[in-house]
Structure 1
Amino acid sequence: MSDTTRKASPRRQVRVGALAAALTASMALLCCTGGAGAFFLTELGGETDQMINAGALNCGTENTVDVTGDMPRFTEYGERQLRNAAIIIKVGQDMELPPRAWVIAVATAMQESGLRNLANSTVAGSNDIPNEGVGWDHDSLGLFQQRAGWGTVRQRMDPAYAARKFYEKLVKVDNWQQLPLTVAAQKVQISAFPDAYAKHEELASRIVDALAGGAARTVQISGRKVCDAAAGGEIAASGWTAPIPGGVGSGFRTAERPKHNGVDIAAPKETKIRAAASGRVLVARCDPDNRERLSCDEDGWPNKGGCGWFVDMLHAGGYITRYCHMLHKPLVVPGQMVEAGEVIGEVGSSGNSSGPHLHYEVHVNEDRSSRGAINPVPFMKERGAPLKGAA
C-alpha cells in the first residue's frame, strides 16, 4: 500500500545501489585455497556445480515489451500477472526510464498486489470496474495498492496509470538509481513494512529479462543501455556489480583444484573490493583467526591456510558472497547493512595465498559451507556483472 500519510498496510527486504570508480587488474594463476581446502568454517566435499543457465537471455537489444503477445512461463506467476508486469515495463520504456526503474517497479507491485489488479470490497461489489481480486486494506487499489491521493478509483485501477504514477514519484527520489531497491521503493510507497520489497528483486530481474530482452543485465551509460558492463563499480539493473575489475585466473572446482569453491581474480595490492550486491555483513574477521600464532597482517603462503582477512555477506534471495585475502582488517563489521558497490576492503595476500588477488565465492540457500557454493562466473554473468575469464 502506498500513502503519503504513512498509513500502514499488511504486506511489504535488503539493499542495492552506488556507483564507484574503475580500477585495472591483470589475470594470473595464483595459489589459494580461498576458504575451501583450509577454511575452518566449511566442510569439504565433491558437490555438484549448480551453474545458472544464462544462455537464453538476449541482452542489450532494446526490446519493446509486447503487452498483448504471448507471455513467458514462470512457475511463480500466471499469464495475467505477467501481462501486468509487461504493462509496468512498457510504461517505463515509454517514459524513457532505465531498466533499473522497471525492476524496482515490478518488485514493488509483486509485494503490494502479487502483480494483480486488486480492488477493495466496495469497488469489487460495483461490477463497474474490472478487477482481479479484492485487496487487503481499506481504499488501497490496483497493482501498487495506491490510495485516494494518487488518483480516482478508475485511474488507480488502470495498470498503466498506476505504473506511471509510481515512476513519476520514483524519479523525484534523490539518487534513486543508486539506492537499495528497498529504500527506493519505500520512499515512494511509505509502507508499514519497508524491508519487504527486496525479497522480490531476484525474480523481478528475471521477469524484466524475459519480457525485455535481458534488460536487467544492462548498465545505463551516457543514456545507453550497455549489456554486461557492471565491472568497475557500476551497478547493473539487476542490482549486482563485479567486486573488482579483472579476469578469473583460477576457476571454480577445476580438475587441478576440485575443492576450490570460488574463483581467484588477480589485482594489485590496495585495489578496492566492492560489495557485489546490497546486503548484510555476516562475518568480517581473520581466518585462521591467529591459530598457531599465524597473522592476517602479513602476506600469506600456502602452508598458512585460511582465507586471511575476509567478509561474508547475505543478500536478498538467500545468496551469500565471500571475499578473501584482504590486505587489512575489513572496513565493515557483522550486522552492518552495505550497498552494492560500497568498498568493504582492499586486495591483499593474507591467509593461504601466494600473491595479491581476491578469492570470491557465491553460495545459495544461505548456506556458507561448501555445499552451498556455486560457480560465480555464470551466476555473475546472468546478472550483468561478468567476472570475465575462465569458468
Structure 2
Amino acid sequence: MNETTGVRIARVGVDLAKQVIQVHAVDASGRRVVARAFKREQFFAWCTQLPAGCVVAMEACSSAHHWGRKLRAQGLEPRLIAAHFVTPYRMEGKGGKNDATDAAAICEAASRPSMRFVPVKTCEQQGVMSLHRVREGLKEERTACINQIRGVLTEFGLVFGKSPKVLRAVLADIIEDASNELSTTARLVLQRAFEHWRELDEHMRWCDRQVGQHVRSNPAAKRAAKVIGIGELGASALTAGVGDFTQFKSGHQFGAWLGVVPRQASSGGTIRLGRITKRGDDYLRTLLIQGAKAAVMSADKRDDPISRWLAQLTARVGWQKACVAMANKNARILWAVMTREDGFDSKHVSIKPQAKQPDRQPVADPASISAACVA
C-alpha cells in the first residue's frame, strides 16, 4: 500500500546498487504509483509495508539472491531476471539508461507471461560457487606467476618447455646454478616467485579437497559426477550453480541455457545453423567443454554406446566439433539424471517414442459385403 495515495501496489521493479536502490512500483492496472530511490537500510523497511505476495522483480546480479531470500522471508515474491531480458523493455532505448529507467524496465519485464526468471539461490549454493570462484582466481594467479618466472628467465637467455612440470623440475637448480647469468637480485626474485607458486599450489589443493567433500556429501552431485566427461569439479559447480533442474522443461532447454546449442538464422522454412550461442554461465559451459575434451580423447578406451558414437563422430567431423557435441549431450544427460533422480547408466540406449497413428475404421471383407447384398 502506498503511504501517500493509499493505492495497493501489485508489482515492484528494483534496480539494485551498493548504496542507492531505485524502485518503480505499479498497481494492478500497471499505473505507476512509486518511483523513488532508497538507501540500503531504507529499502528493506519500505518493502515490509508491501502486501503479502507482492511481486518484487530485480536483475540477477551479485546481491540479488541475498535480497531475494530476505524478501521471501517477509512473504513477498522475489523474481530475478537476466539483464539481457530487461534491455528490450527500456522505453528510452540504449541511450536513456539510468537507474529510474532500468527500474521501470525491470517492472515491465516482470509483467510478461512468457518471461523466464532465475531461481533464488540458497546460502549453501552461493557458498559452493564462491569456492569455485576463488579457485578460478587462484588458477589465474598461478598462471600469471609462472609466466612472470618465464619472463625473468628469458631475459637471461634461459628458455624451457611450455609445461609447468618441466619448469618446476629445473627451477630450483637454475636458481642455485652459479654458472648462468642470473644476478643476485634476479635469484632472490625467482626464489620468492617460486615460493609463491608453491603456496598457490597448496591453496589449489585445498580448494580441490573442499570440492571433493561437497560431491561426496551431496547426493545430486554424486550422481552427476558419474556422467562421462563431468567429474567432481563439473558436478559440484553444475549442481550448485543450477540448483533445481526441474526449472527446465527439457534437456534441450537446459543445453540452450548453457549456450552449447547452435545459433539460428532460419526463415521461410530454411534452417541455417551457426556457431554455439555461448549464452549463460561462462564457467559452467567451460567445465562442460573441458570435460567433453577428456571424454573425446579417451573414447577409444571405453566400449559403451556413447563412446562408440563419440569415436565415430570424431572421425567424421573432427575432435573440436565432437567436443561441443559431447558437451551438449552431457547437458541433456545431466538434466535427465537430475530430474529423474536416477543414476547414470553408460550402456543405456534411448528409444524415441513412436508417432501416434491415426485411428482407422476396420474395413469389411468384400466377399462378405457381396454375400450380404445377395441375401
Normalised-by-shorter TM-score class: under 0.3
TM-score by length of 2: 0.24
